Amino acid sequence: MKIGERENFGSKLGVVLAAAGSAVGLGNIWRFPIETGQNGGAAFILLYIICIIVLGMPIMLSEFLIGRHTHANTAGAYRMLAPRTQWKWVGRLGVFTGFMILSYYSVVAGWTAEYAVLAASNAFEGKTIEDFPRIFGEFASNPWKPVLWLIAFLVLTHVVIVRGVNSGIEKFSKILMPLLFIIVVILVICSVTLPGASKGVEFLIKPDFSKIDSSVVLSAMGQAFFSLSLGMGCLCTYASYFGKDTNLAKTVLNVCVIDTFVALMAGFIIFPASFSAGYALGPEDIGPSLIFITLPNVFQQAFAGAPVLAYIFSVMFYILLVVAALTSTISMHEVATIYLSEEFSMSRRKAATIITSCCIVLGIFCSLSFGVLNGFRMWDMTIFDLFDFASSNILLPVGGMFISLFAGWHLDKQLFRDEITNGGIIRAPYFRVLLFILKYVAPLAICCVILNQFGVLF
């Protein structure tokens, strides 16, 4: 396929739901509650929201305008806007990062599918706190089952991608996202009305500022990047399918509101249910264990007198995770597929097949790192942990930093203004503030995050 020979999203709703589908994922339902639990509850949430407004929104707007202006894959976009420079590497880095995230993210996505099936077959009934770590441990270290789920999940993503932008990404987003909202709302209502749930609600809305220190600020920033799918050209790629009349700033606002809303609601599902079951989430609940060990137990305890409710709650929760993960894996896959297809002139199907096959191979290594390959470590990390750390904690922030430097310093100001105002039709009174953030605030702040990862700063 050549740059320019492509479909656009068919409707404004399609644009918002597809972009929100990318943003809303395991990051909201799995990672956000863990970060909130560990970093002081409401105080962390407040910081997180500040990070979304100050850093997330300007960088998302930059990705949108770069993609929409060029109508090209992320590497092609930088090449077109900065010909004969090294900026194209920002796009290529994004493709590489997305590819890495997709490989390990699909492993966890596969686990959510197994748990949806376990929940549906009522495998959790009557199980106690001792049983769940064993169930999860046996599953994750099994050499076959998680690998088969990983392959199934990637093949499902592949099928959607091969169908194209309109009948694949847009159509599925329009079905899956409303389903996700409905499940979220039902689960929140069930959770906050449990006896003793108010303590969990209080934890989420009453800030304790004494908990805030530099590492909490940095965690909030990292979470904002991951959750908004920023820093790897994902939203830049989706924006390349936006029409000329799409209001970019409004779309940014919609996506950020939806993403934050779902993250907060995930908190309102998990904490009230946990507190009601007499389970205050502690440091030992970090990582995969939260949704695969702690929560199935919490659901059993919280609805102890009503097994039917425990059943429905668990099934809906894991379906929610599957749906959220799928709309995100689709977006990561698209970045790499359209890159291969346009840059190496190959059909969409062929490009998608190459990406799916390579991700399956890498994903298998990530998956086996919970079992037979557990002893294989680099810098003291398993393959899965290494992929997670390198992509989310280093490559995404580095990508985000270069995107903001590109938009703030390199991009022609008139082009920038034309894109966000749709050629002068929409007002953009925030333009100067936006440029200031992109030039100075965002790059410096992100630099701090990265240095902190290596223990240089704090």
Residue with tokens 């290494």: 386
DSSP string for 103-152:
HHHHHHHHHHHHHHHHHHTTTTTT--TTHHHHHHHHHHH-SSHHHHHHHH
Q: Work out how close the CB of 228 gets to ligand PHE at its nearest, in angstroms, rounded to a whole number.
A: 6
* CB 74 to ligand PHE: min, Å: 12
Least spacing, CB of residue 400 vs ligand PHE, in Å: 11
d(CA 170, CA 176): 10
Check binding of 252 to ligand PHE (CB under 6 A). no
The closest of 201, 257, 208, 268 to 47, measured between CA atoms, is 208
Min CB(30)–ligand PHE separation in Å: 8
> Shortest approach of ligand PHE to residue 362 CB, angstroms?
16
Interacting residue with ligand PHE among 16, 19, 20, 26 (CB under 6 A): 26
Q: Which positions from 329 through 358 interact with ligand PHE, judged by CB under 6 A?
A: 331-332
Which residue, 31 or 79, has its beta carbon nearer to ligand PHE? Answer: 31
Helix, strand, coil share of the chain (percent; to 5): 75, 0, 25
DSSP class of 72: S
> Counting contacts by CB under 6 A, is residue 101 touching ligand PHE?
yes
C-beta closer to ligand PHE: residue 232 or 239:
232
**What would the DSSP string read from start to end of 248-290?**
HHHHHHHHHHHHHHHHHHHHHHHHHHHHHTT----GGG-TTHI
Among the listed residues 106, 157, 191, 227, the single contact to ligand PHE using CB under 6 A: 227
Q: Do 161 and 330 contact (CB within 8 A), yes or no? A: yes
Choose the stretch contacting ligand PHE; rule: CB under 6 A; options: 6-14, 25-33, 147-155, 414-422: 25-33
Count of CA atoms in the C-beta half-sphere (13 A) of 190: 24
Closest separation between CB of residue 56 and ligand PHE, Å? 11
Nearest distance from residue 256's CB to ligand PHE, in Å?
12
Number of H helices, E strands in the chain: 23, 0
Instruction: By CB under 6 A, tell whether 328 contacts ligand PHE.
Output: yes
Assess contact for 347 and 1: CB atoms under 8 A: yes
Select from 14, 21, 25, 399 the one that contacts ligand PHE (CB under 6 A).
25
Among 15, 23, 190, 264, binds ligand PHE (CB under 6 A): 23
Extract long-range pairs of 175-178: CB within 8 Å, 24+ residues apart: 176/21, 176/323, 176/326, 176/327, 177/17, 177/20, 177/21, 177/24, 177/327
Report the residue from 3, 8, 28, 74 that binds ligand PHE according to the rule CB under 6 A: 28
Q: Under the criterion CB under 6 A, does residue 229 sit at the interface with ligand PHE?
A: yes
Question: Is residue 33 within the footprint of ligand PHE (CB under 6 A)?
Answer: no
274 or 331: CB nearest ligand PHE: 331
Question: At closest approach, how far in Å is the CB of 245 from ligand PHE?
Answer: 25
CB of 86 to ligand PHE, least distance (A): 23
# chain residues binding ligand PHE, by CB under 6 A: 15
Alpha helix locations (H) across 142-230?
145-162, 171-192, 198-205, 214-227
Question: Which of residues 230 and 442 has its CB atom nearest to ligand PHE in the complex?
Answer: 230
Nearer to ligand PHE, 328 or 369 (CB): 328
Closest listed residue to residue 302, CA positions, set 184, 192, 202, 183:
192
Measured CA to CA, the distance from residue 309 to residue 190 in angstroms comes to: 9
Residue of 3, 34, 197, 232 that binds ligand PHE (CB under 6 A): 232
Provide the binding-site residues for ligand PHE, judged by CB under 6 A. 22-23, 25-28, 101, 226-227, 229, 232, 234, 328, 331-332
